[in-house]
Amino acid sequence: MTTEDVMKALGQYTREVDGNHRQTAAILGIKRSILAGWLRGADPPQKRILARVAGFLRRVGYLPANQGDYGTWKQKREQLKEALAARKREEAEFVRQLHDLERQRRDLDDLGNSLTRKLEYMISQIHHVLDALEDAQRQLVAQERQPRQFKQPATPALRIDRPTK
């Protein structure tokens, strides 16, 4: 396997999986600018890094595991393509449902009903508090209307000692 084969597979992987090279560079542990240079063909990677990239591409199915195992590699690659296409269809369906006006209307109705119930509960709690305050106020008014009886504080008897003769 040549450097060109690895770089071609890497380019194909980045196009199909990661359009902006950021994720691929992070997975490989290199800077995005270095990956972009490799893909342009300006600066090929060193041998040890090339081996690491080739190993990664084998694991994800973009390079054959062995030269004689091309059929298995091709089958895995097709499975990966199918899985990627299914994922894209799921994402498109999610976005379609997200923008579904009927669903949004149902969600807003549910939210409105929930908020209405909470508001009604809070209003009933406020009424209970107001009732308790009115009762307390009535008690205070009733206490003020009652005649007050002031008790004279008990003064101790003064004892005057007279001098004895």
Q: Mind listing the pLDDT tens digit for each residue in 42-94? A: 778 888 888 888 888 888 888 876 655 666 777 788 888 899 999 999 999 99
Report how far residue 27's alpha carbon sits from residue 14's, in angstroms, rounded to the nearest whole number. 11
Cα 141 off chain centre by: 55
Nearest to 22 by CA among 14, 10, 8, 62: 14
Residue 99 has pLDDT above 80, yes or no: yes
In degrees and rounded to multiples of 5, residue 69 shows phi and psi of: -105, 40
| pTM of the shown model | 0.41
Q: Confidence band (pLDDT; 50, 70, 90) for 145?
A: confident
- pLDDT band per the 50, 70, 90 thresholds, residue 7: confident
Residue 138 has pLDDT above 70, yes or no: yes
Burial label, 53 (beta-carbon count in 10 A; 0-12, 13-18, 19+): buried
Q: Residue 127 has what pLDDT?
A: 95
Percent of the chain with pLDDT over 70: 84
